[in-house]
Structures are given as C-alpha cells and as structure tokens.
C-alpha cells in the first residue's frame, strides 16, 4: 500500500512535470504567455457591451513574467522539475528530497502557466503524496481529499472511526476556505477592474491576458476562515440534531464534524474561477454562477455519501437528511448570519441569493415534504 503512495506520487508528479515542460515550450515558441480566446476581438468595447455571443479567454502564464530573459529561468525550472519527477519514479525509496523540490517548483511554475494549470496541480498533489509516502495512500492528506471527491464511502468510515482526524478536518476547512476565497476574491477584483476601471485596464485583463493582483485580494480568504468554521460547526450541529435527536441514531458530534469538513472538498475548486474571463453578461453572471453551482452540487453529493456512511442509512434517506439539513442551514447562514455580519447590502465574495423570502420558505417546505417522502422521519 505504501508503495502505491510513492508510485501515485511519482506518476502524478511525472504527468505534471511533462505538462509543465510542454507549457513552457509553448511559451518559448510563442515568446510570451499563451492566450486562448474563443474569437479575436479588436476593441474592448465589443466585450463590455452585453452581446449575444459568448467570448472567453484563458491565459497560461503571467505576461510580465514570461517574457525576455525570464523565459530561461522557467525553462531551467521545468527541466529540473522533470528530472526530479523521473528521479522520484526511478528511486521511490528516497522520495522526500525530490518531492519537496517538485512542490516548490510546481508552485513557482504557476507563473509560467503551470502546465496548462493542470500540470502544477498534479505536481503539487503528487509531491505532497511523496512527502507523506510513509503513510498509505488513503491516509495521506491529498489521498483523503481525492477519495472524498470521488465519492469513496470507505474513507468516510475511516474518518468516522478516527477521532485524531479532527485537527486534520479543521485544517481541511481552512485549506478549502483559503483556496476558494482566493479564487473568488481574485475573480471579483479583476471583474471589478474590467467593469469600473478605464478601458486600458480592461484591455490588459481581457485582451492581453493579465490577471491583476492587489494585497486587498488576500483579505477575503483570511477573514472568511472564521466564518467557514462557524458555518461548518452549524451544519454539523444541524446534521447531529437531525440524526441523533430526531432519528435516534447513536452518533457523536465530532464524527459528524470530521466527515462534513472533508465533504467541503469540491468547494476548493472555486480557486479556478479567475483562470477564465468572459464578456458581459457572462463575466458577472453565468461563469461565477456555473462554478458555484457545480462545486456546491458536488459537495452536496459528497455529503450524501458521508451521511449514508455515518448514519448507516439508505441512499434516499441520506438524500432526505441532507435536504432537510440544508433547508435549515442555508437560510440560517445566508438570511441571518451573513446580513448580520455585513451591515451593508453587499456581502463580499461570490454568492447566489434567493429572493423574495416567501420563495425561500416555499423551497424549505418543498425540501421538508421531500425528506418526509424519502423516509427521514421514519424510524427503522
């Protein structure tokens, strides 16, 4: 099993390193960052006025950092990264040193496109597995996250049985908040620049492929850590109350909290939000909404698997519990806590709000009836 961890680490790092190498070669050939757009546009005005056809751009590489002599640096790092990944594959018994450097280089090479983004991601996951190669694949941090995201119910069994994982669960919540917060914050910052700055800035972001950064971008992920912990405890409490008090299932709050923390994993994918920029109205509505819906739906499905394993109930009943818990959790968080914390009308971050409140109540009623039909209130 431990060999499997090292093997997975080596394979992931190697695929990542190859992608990074190819990305850097593409930059070398092009002489600047790679910008892929749906169709060519000659002026920014075409993109800011809402039009029918969708336009998008994806940039691989930060333009100012992948030009001139700096390309040599990226080429060197990419080749060293590839060599280290091969070394990790050929010498699996000594994984710590190559894994450590692959992690550093994969992070640095994000600036040079990160192997079409996927390469760096694989490099980071692979090298992290390499650093934890003394553990079985499923016991490593990224191993757990991977298994959770792929709906592996066994991992929730392990999380339920191991009280020592509460610390790791809290770390997971913080890690996910930092990633999703950074993605959302960077996206909002750049979208605001596109919509409210002068045309030159909009051109830089949309047409030249730049992603602007400001220290204020870090505010959101850092300040939201506390809020995420509150939301996590709140959801765990609701699930615990429904499971333990309403259904009479013998369970512990900490076991539920541990599983729920890991169920948030798909939300971390919101970090990819700023990699694509679109024209209006897709910039402010469709793209962020699509990412939020997909990641949250994914999280809900993972939660169903977790609840099924925790309470040892059937899938329909698990769906019902999630639905009922969500119908209490969602209005509590988004209608009471967030408006209370942020007195202004604008809540920072990317959210979708349901209005009017009567409609929210209608949805709660629907969820309650559905959970009743699914057998939540029936004791086995």
What is the Cα–Cα distance from 62 to 251, expressed in whole angstroms?
Answer: 50
Could you identify the residue written with the tokens 């709050």? Answer: 253
Phi, psi of 60 (to 5 degrees): -110, 100
To other proteins, the closest distance from the beta carbon of 121 in angstroms equals 23
Q: Is 60 helix (H, G, I), strand (E, B) or coil?
A: strand
Q: Select from 15, 22, 32, 251 the one that contacts other proteins (CB under 8 A).
A: 32
- Residue 163's CB: how many other CB atoms inside 10 A? 12
- Residue 189's CB: how many other CB atoms inside 10 A? 19
Q: Select from 90, 215, 340, 346 the one that contacts other proteins (CB under 8 A).
A: 90
Cis-peptide, bond into residue 356, ω within 30° of zero = yes
Q: By CB under 8 A, what part of segment 62-81 binds other proteins?
A: 63, 67-69, 71-72, 75-76, 79-80
Which 8-state DSSP code applies to residue 271? G
Q: Is 210 helix (H, G, I), strand (E, B) or coil?
A: coil
Q: Select from 22, 58, 62, 86 the one that contacts other proteins (CB under 8 A).
A: 86
CA atoms within 13 A on the CB side of 224: 23
Residues in the chain: 380
* Per-residue x/- track, 191-210, other proteins (CB under 8 A): ------------x---xxx-
To other proteins, the closest distance from the beta carbon of 75 in angstroms equals 6
* Per-residue x/- track, 93-132, other proteins (CB under 8 A): ----------------------------------------
Nearer to other proteins, 79 or 332 (CB): 79
Tell me if 212 contacts other proteins by CB under 8 A. Answer: no
Binding part of the chain for other proteins, among 26-34, 116-124, 185-193, 275-283 by CB under 8 A, reads: 26-34
* Per-residue x/- track, 36-65, other proteins (CB under 8 A): -----xx--------------------x--
Nearer to other proteins, 62 or 75 (CB): 75
To other proteins, the closest distance from the beta carbon of 222 in angstroms equals 34
What is the Cα–Cα distance from 158 to 259, expressed in whole angstroms?
Answer: 10
Binding part of the chain for other proteins, among 87-95, 174-182, 212-220, 347-355 by CB under 8 A, reads: 87-95
What is the Cα–Cα distance from 269 to 302, expressed in whole angstroms?
Answer: 14
How many chain residues are in contact with other proteins, going by CB under 8 A?
Answer: 30
Structure-token pair, residue 338: 């967030």
């Amino acid at each position: 099993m431990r060999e499997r961890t090292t093997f997975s680490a080596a394979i992931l790092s190697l695929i990542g390193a190859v992608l990074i190498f190819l990305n850097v070669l593409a930059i070398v050939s092009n002489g600047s960052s790679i910008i892929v757009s749906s169709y060519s546009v000659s002026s920014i005005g075409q993109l800011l006025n809402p039009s029918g056809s969708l336009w998008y751009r994806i940039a691989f590489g930060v333009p100012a950092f992948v030009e001139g002599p700096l390309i040599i640096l990226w080429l060197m790092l990419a080749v060293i990264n590839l060599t280290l990944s091969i070394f990790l594959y050929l010498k699996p018994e000594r994984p710590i040193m190559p894994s450590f450097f692959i992690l550093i280089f994969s992070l640095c090479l994000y600036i040079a496109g990160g192997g079409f983004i996927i390469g760096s991601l694989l490099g980071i996951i692979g090298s992290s597995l390499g650093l934890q190669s003394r553990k079985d694949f499923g016991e490593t941090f990224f191993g757990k996250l991977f298994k959770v995201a792929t709906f592996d119910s066994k991992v929730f069994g392990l999380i339920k049985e191991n009280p020592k994982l509460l610390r790791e669960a809290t770390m997971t919540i913080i890690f996910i908040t930092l990633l999703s917060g950074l993605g959302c914050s960077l996206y909002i910052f750049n979208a605001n620049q596109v919509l409210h700055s002068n045309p030159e800035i909009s051109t830089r972001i949309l047409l030249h492929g730049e992603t602007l950064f400001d220290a204020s971008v870090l505010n959101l992920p850092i300040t939201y850590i506390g809020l995420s912990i509150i939301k996590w405890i709140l959801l765990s409490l609701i699930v615990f109350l429904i499971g333990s008090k309403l259904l009479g299932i013998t369970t512990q709050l900490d076991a539920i909290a541990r599983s729920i923390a890991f169920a948030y994993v798909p939300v971390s994918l919101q970090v990819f939000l700023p990699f694509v920029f679109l024209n209006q109205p897709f910039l402010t509505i469709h793209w962020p909404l699509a990412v939020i819906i997909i990641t949250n739906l994914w999280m809900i499905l993972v939660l169903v698997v977790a609840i099924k394993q925790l309470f040892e109930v059937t899938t329909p009943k698990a769906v019902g519990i999630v639905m009922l818990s969500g119908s209490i959790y969602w209005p509590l968080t988004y209608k009471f806590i967030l408006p209370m914390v942020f007195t202004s009308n604008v809540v920072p971050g990317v959210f979708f709000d349901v209005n009017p409140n009567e409609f929210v109540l209608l949805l709660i009623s629907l969820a309650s009836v559905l959970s009743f039909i699914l057998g939540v209130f029936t004791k086995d």
